């Protein structure tokens, strides 16, 4: 089959994958931008959001909107708890990026075991009515829910920009991200803003968890697998840049899916990691060209 007839399908495949990566990446990037560490435990928040949604929707039989709201609330509580118990004590003793990074990976792994202890190891399926309605245009196919994911992802990205660029909170976050000392002098309380940052990223995480859960089923280690791609997206887009993370996610989704048309599909991960390495070596500021902080 000629490439041009298949290209639209590859493009759609890439767009769906890219939206999922971007959803996982934007919470990660937001925390990196403001709080300055590699927030892998965003994967834990995703997992918790998805499982709590499953708990309320399938096990307790609540309405799906109510279930989604409750699951977002619990995601927020989970994010604040990890901040309060682990990240804040670490920041207090002026720990560098490494202990925070390790702690966030540990929390991520911990959460998968916790979900297994609470919900069991088997795969759970989430399903809404009409979710799998398929639209076909010639060779091209897409489901209703995939269209919804792409649209919802873009709405969320827009809201995130709005908060960052147009609100007082967003201004405070940007001030803190640019220079913590100056921000403190003008009366911004970093811990308070950090808390808001974790809340916003948890809302993103909870919603993404639900969407990803609906699209790809639930299993205890789902967060580990998704956040790795979120992390790559964030690096490629420009670490510490929220728009960068979104662009990076979409870019990786597209390149991976179009790339394995030409290469054996088992090299999908090699494609994304190689691109990440190339970016780090030749354009470390990422696609959108944000400069990263220098540790030294």
Partner 1 sequence: MITDFFISFSTYVIIYIIIVSSFNISFGFTGLVNLGHMVFFGIGAYTSAILTLHGMPWYFALILAGLFTSLIGAAIAAITVRLKGDYFQIVTLGLVFIAIAISRNWISLTRGALGLPGIPPIIKDNFNYMLFTFLVCVICLAFFYWLTKSETGKIFQAIRDDETAASILGKNTYFYKVLSITISTFFAGIAGSLFVHFIKFVDPSIFDLDFFVIILTMLVAGGLASITGSIIGVVSLAITSEALRFVVVNPELIGPVRHMSLMLILILILIYRPRGILGKVNV
Partner 2 sequence: MKKILLAILAVLVLIISACAQQQQAPPPSSGQNQPAQPQGSYKIGIMMPLSGDAASYGIPVQKTTKYAIDEINAKGGVNGRKLEAIWEDSKCNPKDGNAAAQKLINIDKVKVIIGGICSGETLGAAPLANDNKVVMISPSATSPDITTKGGDFVFRLSPSDAFAGVVASDYAYNNLNAKKAGVISEATDYSQGLRRVFKENFAKLGGEIVADETYNPEDTDFRTQVTKVKAANPDVVYLVPQTKAKGVLLVKQAKEAGIKTQLLTAEVMIGRDVVKESATDVDGMIGVEQKFDDKNPKAAPILAKYKQDTKEDAPFPAFMSASYDIVYLISDAITKNGYDGEKIRDYLYNVKDYDGAVGKVTLDSNGDVILDFSVKQIKNGELVTLK
The residue ranges that bind partner 2 (CB under 8 A) are 1, 6, 9-10, 13-14, 16-17, 20, 85, 89, 112-113, 116-118, 120-123, 125, 132, 134, 136, 139, 141-143, 216-217, 219-222, 225-226, 228, 256-258, 260-261, 264-266, 268-269
What is the C-alpha separation between 262 and 258, in angstroms, rounded? 7
Which residue, 177 or 224, is less far from partner 2 as judged by CB? 224
Q: How far is the CB of 189 from partner 1 (least distance, A)?
A: 23
Q: Which two tokens stand for residue 25?
A: 């990446």
Q: Residue 63: exposed, middle, or buried by beta-carbon count in 10 A (0-12, 13-18, 19+)?
A: exposed
Residue 287, contacted partner among partner 2, partner 1, none, CB below 5-8 A by kind: none
Kindly tell me which of 147 and 180 has the beta carbon lying closer to partner 1.
180
State the binding partner of 80 from partner 1, partner 2, none, CB within 5 to 8 A by kind.
none
Which listed option, partner 2, partner 1, none, makes contact with residue 41 (CB within 5 to 8 Å by class)?
Answer: none
Which one-letter DSSP state was computed for residue 288? T
Q: How far is the CB of 69 from partner 2 (least distance, A)?
A: 24
Do residues 269 and 276 make contact, with C-beta atoms less than 8 angstroms apart?
A: no
Interacting residues with partner 1 (CB under 8 A): 38, 86, 89-90, 93-99, 101-103, 105-107, 109-110, 113-114, 116-117, 224, 228, 232, 235, 239, 264, 266-267, 269-270, 273-274, 276-277, 280-281, 284, 292-296
Residue 140 DSSP symbol: E
Among partner 1, partner 2, none, what binds residue 256 when CB lies within 5 to 8 Å by partner kind? partner 2
Q: How many helices (H) and strands (E) would you count in the chain?
A: 12, 2
293 binds, among partner 1, partner 2, none (CB under 5 to 8 A by kind): partner 1
Q: Which does 179 bind (CB under 5 to 8 A by kind): partner 1, partner 2, none?
A: none
Shortest distance (Å) from residue 4 CB to partner 2 = 12
Contacts of 9 (CB under 8 A, 6+ apart): 139, 140, 141
Between 136 and 296, whose beta carbon lies closer to partner 2? 136
How far is C-alpha 276 from the geometric centre of its chain's CA atoms?
17
Q: Which is nearer to partner 2, 184 or 265 (CB)?
A: 265
Cβ-defined contacts of 173-178 (< 8 Å, 24+): 173/33, 173/34, 173/197, 176/34, 177/33, 177/34, 177/36, 177/240
Q: Answer with the entry of partner 1, partner 2, none that 99 interacts with (C-beta below 5 to 8 A by kind).
A: partner 1
- Length of the chain equals 296
| CA distances to 36, 49, 176 from 172, in Å | 15, 27, 6
């Amino acid at each position: 089959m000629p490439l041009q007839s298949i290209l639209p399908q590859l493009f759609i495949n890439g767009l769906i994958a890219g939206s999922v990566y971007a959803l996982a990446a934007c919470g990660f990037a937001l925390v990196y931008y403001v709080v300055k560490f590699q927030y892998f435990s965003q994967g834990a928040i995703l997992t918790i959001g998805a499982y709590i949604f499953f708990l309320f929707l399938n096990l307790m039989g609540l309405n799906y909107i109510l279930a989604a709201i409750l699951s977002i609330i619990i995601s927020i509580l989970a994010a604040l708890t990890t901040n309060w118990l682990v990240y804040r004590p670490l920041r207090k003793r002026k720990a560098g990026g490494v202990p925070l990074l390790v702690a966030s990976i540990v929390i991520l792994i911990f959460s998968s075991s916790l979900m297994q202890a609470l919900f069991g190891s088997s795969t759970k399926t989430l399903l809404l009515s009409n979710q799998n309605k398929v639209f076909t245009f010639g060779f091209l196919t897409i489901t209703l829910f995939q269209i919804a994911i792409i649209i919802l992802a873009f709405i969320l990205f827009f809201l995130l920009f709005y908060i960052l660029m147009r609100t007082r909170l967003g201004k405070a976050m940007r001030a803190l991200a640019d220079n913590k000392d100056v921000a403190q002098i003008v009366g911004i309380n970093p811990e308070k803003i950090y808390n808001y940052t974790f809340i916003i990223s948890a809302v993103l995480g909870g919603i993404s968890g639900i969407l990803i859960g609906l699209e790809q089923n639930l299993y205890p280690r789902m967060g580990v697998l998704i956040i790795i791609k979120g992390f790559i997206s964030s690096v490629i887009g420009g670490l510490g840049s929220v728009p960068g993370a979104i662009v990076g996610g979409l870019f990786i989704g597209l390149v991976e899916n179009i790339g394995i048309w030409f290469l054996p599909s088992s090299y999908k991960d090699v494609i994304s990691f190689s691109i990440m390495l190339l970016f780090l070596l030749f354009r470390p500021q990422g696609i959108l060209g944000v400069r990263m902080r220098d540790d030294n």
